[in-house]
Amino acid sequence: MKTRIVGALALSTLVGLAACSGGGDSKGPAATKLTVFAASSLTPAFTELGHRYEQSHPGTIVSFNFLSSSDLAAQIEQGAPAAAFASADEDNMQRIEDAGLTDGAPQVFAHNELEILVPPGNPQHIETLADLADPSLVVSLCNSECPAGKYAAQALHKAGVTVKPDSEEIDVKSVSTRIETGEADAGIGYSSDVVAAGGKLAGVQIPQRDNVTATYPLAVLKDAPPAAAGFSRLVLSPAGQRVLERFGFLPK
C-alpha cells in the first residue's frame, strides 16, 4: 500500500512538472512574461514602472531581477533569460554588447549622483568624504565590481581620501541596509537610495568637484518578446522619466 502511495505521489509530481513547463497558453489569452534585469538602485522606480506597464498592457506580467549590474551582466552572459537589461554603468552594458547579446543600441535613460549615506539625523556628524577615513567609523561600501563601488572609489580618489571599508557589499541596496539596521555608521550610495529609504536614511551631499555621475543605459536583449521594447519606450517616455525623477534620479 505504502509503495502505491509513494508511486502516486511521484507520478503526480511528474505530471505537475510537465504541466508547468507547458506554458501559459492553455487557457485564455496568452500571458506575456517580461523579465527585466535591473541595477539594484532601480528597485523602487522600476517596480513602479513595471506596475504601470502591466496596467497599460493587460496580460503582460513584468518581473524583475534586481542585483548589482556586474552580477546581472554575469548572469546574462551565462544565458539567463532576460528580455532587457538596465545597468547602473556603461562598462557592464558594454560587456553585454561586446558579447553580442543586445538587440539594438543601448539607450541612456537616467543619471544618478553619489551621496554619503548616514542614519537619520547624522549622529556621527559626517560632512565630507574625508570624514569617512576615520577608522573608528564602521563604513560600508559596494565592492569594486559593482558600479556603486566603482563610482565611490572614483569619488574618493578625486577627493584624495583613502577609506578602509569595514564591509564591501554585493550591491548598493545592501549598503543602505547596513546603515538602516545600524551595523554601519556610513556608506556611499546614490541620491536615489536616500529617496528610496523614505526617511530611514539621510544623505550628505558630495560637492560637485568630487562627485561622480552614474549613467544608466537600458538595452533590449536578443530574442526578447516585443514587450521589452514597449517597456523600454515607457522608461524613456516623459511619464517614465517623471517616475524616475520622483525616485531621485536625474533625467536622461
Partner 1 sequence: MTRARAAPTGRPITALVVLGAVAALFLALPLVGLLLEAPLSDLPRLLTSAPVTSAFELSLVASLSATALSLLLGLPLAWLLARTEFPGKALVRALTTLPLVLPPVVGGVALLLVLGRTGLVGHLLDSWFGITLFGTTPAVVIAETFVAMPFLVITVEGGLRSLDERYEEAAATLGAGRWMTLRRVTLPLIGPALAAGAVLAWARALGEFGATIAFAGNLPGVTQTIPLAVYIQLQTQVGGAIALSLVLVVVSLIVLIALRRRWWPAA
Rounded Cα–Cα distance for residues 143 and 49 (Å): 28
β pairing state of 32-39 and 202-205: unpaired
240 scored as a contact of partner 1 (CB under 8 A): no
Q: Which of 82, 146, 148, 188 binds partner 1 (CB under 8 A)?
A: 146
Which residue, 54 or 91, is less far from partner 1 as judged by CB? Answer: 91
90 forms part of the interface with partner 1 (CB under 8 A): no
- Of 53 and 173, the one with the shorter C-beta distance to partner 1 is 173
97 binds partner 1 (CB under 8 A): no
Q: Cα separation of 28 and 230, whole Å?
A: 22
Q: Does 140 sit near partner 1 (CB under 8 A)?
A: yes
In the complex, the smallest distance separating the C-beta of residue 166 from partner 1, rounded to whole angstroms, is 3
- Does 182 sit near partner 1 (CB under 8 A)? yes
Q: Which of 62, 84, 86, 184 binds partner 1 (CB under 8 A)?
A: 184
Give the C-alpha separation, 150 to 145, whole Å: 7
Asked if 131 interacts with partner 1 (CB under 8 A), we say no
Residue numbers 45-74 binding partner 1 by CB under 8 A: 68, 70-71, 73-74
CB atoms within 10 A of CB 72: 27
* Residue spans of alpha helices (H) in 82-146: 90-98
Among 183, 213, 233, 239, binds partner 1 (CB under 8 A): 183
Collapsing DSSP to helix, strand or coil, 191 comes out as helix
> Applying CB under 8 A, does 176 fall inside the site for partner 1?
no
Query: How far, in Å, CA of 21 to CA of 49, rounded?
Result: 28
Is the four-CA dihedral 234, 240, 244, 247 of positive or negative sign? negative
Please state the length of the chain: 252
Pick from 150, 35, 44: nearest CA to 90: 150
Does position 21 bind partner 1 by CB under 8 A? no
166 binds partner 1 (CB under 8 A): yes
- The residues that touch partner 1, with contacts defined as CB under 8 A, are 1, 3, 68, 70-71, 73-74, 138, 140, 143, 145-146, 165-170, 178, 181-184
